[in-house]
Amino acid sequence: MRPDLESTPKLGFGCMRLPLLDPADQQSIDLAQLEQMVDAFLEGGGTYFDTAFVYHEGASEKALGQALVARHPRESFTIATKCLAWAIGSAEEAKSNLGTSLERLGTDYIDFYLLHNVGGPRTAKFDEYGMWDFVREQKAAGRIRNWGFSMHDGPRRSTRCSRRTPTPTSCSCR
């Protein structure tokens, strides 16, 4: 499966709020229940899974790697994950998120890598850390198939943001 915007389903499996064994512990993901949910989603024709570096304090990517990547053919689904450079203290740390995400997920490439929650003053960190060039370099290296940004603003701001960035292949507005 070579993902692109035209072939990406309209419905995805979000991994921001996964079932927990202990509601007080965001990392205590119920892997058995997640496996059942992933299997049901795939059996129903779903293929797009969305997570992020910070979801469940980092445990979301690892659990998705165990419930999905380790159990199903890699070409049968797509994964989107996200980097929050604006919440990180250095360019090196922001850029190392990709390698950590790949390791947690147990894959050698990400189908959709999004610079997360851009807009307003938050975008300045992506600029400062050189993240726009970084994602293009990683796409050329094959570690990212598609890249883009996500935001919690309306279409007007997404248009302004996409004009100032180097050719993203996706944009997610929430």
Name residue, tokens 């007007």: 156
User: Are 46 and 13 spatial neighbours (Cβ–Cβ below 8 Å)?
Assistant: yes
Annotated catalytic residue within 48, 55, 113, 129 = 55
Quick check: is 113 catalytic?
no
CB 15 within 8 A of CB 29: no
Residues near 32 by beta carbon (within 8 Å), at least 6 away in sequence: none
Token look-up 């994950």 returns 81
> 3-state secondary structure string, 24-71?
CCCCCECHHHHHHHHHHHHHCCCCEEECCCCHHHHHHHHHHHHHHHCC
Distance CA 128, CA 40 (A): 42
Q: Which residues are part of the catalytic machinery?
A: 55
